[in-house]
Amino acid sequence: MNRYPAWLNSLVLVILLVGIMLALPNIYGSAPAVQLADIDGADITQTQLDNYVRALENDGIKPESAYLSDGRAVIRFAKGAIEDQQIAGERLRARYENESNVALTLAPSMPDWVRELGLNPMSLGLDLRGGVYVLLEVDMNTAVENRMKGYEQDFDDRLRDARIRHRVDLNNQVLTIRLQSAEDMEKAREIVSAADSDVLIGDGTDGKSLIVRMTEAQIKERQDFAIEQNMTTLRNRVDQLGVAEPLVQRQGVDRIVVQLPGVQDPTELQKILTATATLEFRMVDLTGDMPGSRRYPGRGDETPQILRREVIASGDEIIDAKSGFTNEGQPAVHITLDSAGGERMLATTRENVGKPMSTVFIEWREESVTRGGKTVSRKFKTEEIIGTATIRGVFKNRFQTTGLTPNEARELAVLMRAGALAAPVYKVDERTIGPSLGQDNIDRGFNAIKIGFLAVIVFMAVYYRWFGMIANVALLSNLVFIVAVLSLAGASLTLPGIAGIVLTVGMAVDANVLIFERIREELAAGVQPQAAINSGYEKALSSIADANVTTLIAAIVLLAFGTGPIKGFAITLMIGIVTSMFTAIIGTRAIVNLAFGGRKITSLPV
């Protein structure tokens, strides 16, 4: 009686070994490292990596390990070698600025053979490693409005081409097309629905106007597009910042979470994330009275100019932008246009050699204003001329523009390379955790785990003697399993997550307490030891299952409704419940069977 078949014992052993294996990377901790990502998003090659390492070694900096991970190069230094990391970061940045984005980070300091097995430690949440968390809300109204503006322009052009006299008004996402006479109605309707067969077209009350609006599906599609587009742009921008392991995630209908571990100054981040800066190139209107011409202010000492309505090239036609300096040493942005923009630039410059062209810097700035007791964020648009130059020769898609400070040039290059935001974003939640607080949180959390764990272990050993020791083995393996699952799932450990582990440690013994109490009851009722073990485990099973399922329900609800800190807690709690069922029921039984099963015993050390 009370023997597990050999396969079951082996299975328990194998699972334990796998658990230990998966949890292994976590015991090595982390060390300062430098991470390099290709500036255009391509994978870093082994050759490039070798170059980086050689460059550092020539400077007398010896990395402990250097490898490729997810197309990025990671160069890790000895534990605590922050100085090496800083110097290496500077050197690499100076040397490879046009090739890669360099980020200072923490990398797991496990030996190479562990890494080559594809094992990874759990990542630490922002509250444990420091960093910035930002929740952005996408302005959906503007997203839809922008689309309507596109329609307005389109319908206007098409009706003009068809020589139908009309006036188009856009108000509150509703487009009103006023026609000269009722006779034009049918023709106009045909033109509009030919342009877009999905939009809703209704008749105006006056009998000679059309009311056009987007369908629900179109609006939804537009909103999804805006979110997706914004996320791509934000991701690009974050990559340009040179942050290791950034996270950009959609939350709910109209929100985007951005997490940047290790970033300490949210000011720069804020600018990059919410800024919508771009450039436009226009010819100066020398006569000053061409239709649609408008006066633009100059930035700083720049002379204001009257510029023509036609845009030669605008920000969304810029496919690459790099900051740098002109031959004269002025800060400049080197710009590459796409083919359409390039063609127009070519045509314009060919016809206008000797005439002045202006570069307009356009920026939307977010400011909080109070209106009717409510604070709302408003975007203010500023348009300034940053440079006017005489066209000296014909050029196409590659040229440079000046008139910015080095910082502005760098930021503008980042913004244009990353693409434009499809709709403005506003920050609704921002949390910055300093690195010292993160370290404190780790230290305190692990301290609490250690002390709580020790208290429980001593108590169990005293109270249930050898059976208590067996339960302690299960408890310890349970910790290993929680860490293993978290590492495997790539989940990040947060402070509430640590709290979840602590709580699991306290509650995980419950299953063993139920079993051991039951065994004691059976023994007290005069049942033989072997039979008592058996029925103790069997009869306690339904209670354990019920108890754990109910706790699991609470944890699942937490996971479903919780955000941020609550989720971290719920995940570890859930993992803990499941793994503790395994260790407390099957794990302890395997040991109990090995120790006491299959032989004659007269008493049990329980």
Partner 1 sequence: MRILKNKTHIDFLGSTRRKIALTISAFAVIVSLGSLIVDDPPLEFGIDFTGGVLLEVGYPEPADIETIRSALATAGFEDAQVQRFGTDTDVLVRLPPQEGWNPDELREELRRTVAGDISNVQLRRVESVSPQVGKELAEQGGLAMIIALLLIFVYVMVRFQWKFAAGAVAALAHDVIVTVGFFSIFHLPFDLTVVAAVLAVIGYSLNDTVVAFDRIRENFFKLRGISAEESMNTSINEMLARTLITGFTTLFVLIALLLFGGESIAPFSIALIVGIVVGTYSSIYTASATALLLGVNAQDLLEPVKDPDLIDDLP
State the minimum distance, in angstroms, from the CB of residue 223 to partner 1.
18
State the minimum distance, in angstroms, from the CB of residue 249 to partner 1.
16
Query: In sequence order, which residues have a C-beta less than 8 Å from that of residue 477 and are 6 or more positions away?
Result: 16, 19, 583, 587
Q: Are 107 and 36 in contact (CB under 8 A)?
A: no
Q: Which of 470, 481, 476 is nearest to 18 (CA)?
A: 481
Q: Which is nearer to partner 1, 199 or 578 (CB)?
A: 578
Q: Which is nearer to partner 1, 98 or 267 (CB)?
A: 267
State the minimum distance, in angstroms, from the CB of residue 104 to partner 1.
19
Q: Which helix (H) or strand (E) element contains residue 170?
A: strand 166-171
Q: Which is nearer to partner 1, 301 or 367 (CB)?
A: 367
State the alpha helices, DSSP H only, in 162-256.
Answer: 184-195, 216-241
DSSP 27: G
Q: Which is nearer to partner 1, 198 or 440 (CB)?
A: 440
Q: How many residues does the chain have?
A: 606
State the minimum distance, in angstroms, from the CB of residue 181 to partner 1.
48
Spatial distance between the Cα atoms of 240 and 237, rounded to a whole number of angstroms: 5
State the minimum distance, in angstroms, from the CB of residue 375 to partner 1.
4
Burial class from Cβ neighbours inside 10 Å (0-12, 13-18, 19+) for residue 363 reads middle
Give backbone dihedrals phi and psi of 429, rounded to 5 degrees, phi first: -155, 135
State the minimum distance, in angstroms, from the CB of residue 54 to partner 1.
38
Radius of gyration of the chain (CA): 33
In 3-state terms the chain splits into helix, strand, coil percentages (rounded to 5) of 50, 25, 25
Q: Which is nearer to partner 1, 307 or 540 (CB)?
A: 540
Q: Which is nearer to partner 1, 66 or 498 (CB)?
A: 498
State the minimum distance, in angstroms, from the CB of residue 448 to partner 1.
4
Q: Which is nearer to partner 1, 332 or 575 (CB)?
A: 575
Q: Which is nearer to partner 1, 152 or 517 (CB)?
A: 517
- What is the DSSP annotation of 84-129? HHHHHHHHHHHHHTTTEEEEEEEEE---HHHHHTT--PPEEPHHHH
Cα angle 587, 589, 595 (rounded to 5 degrees) comes to 110
State the minimum distance, in angstroms, from the CB of residue 509 to partner 1.
5
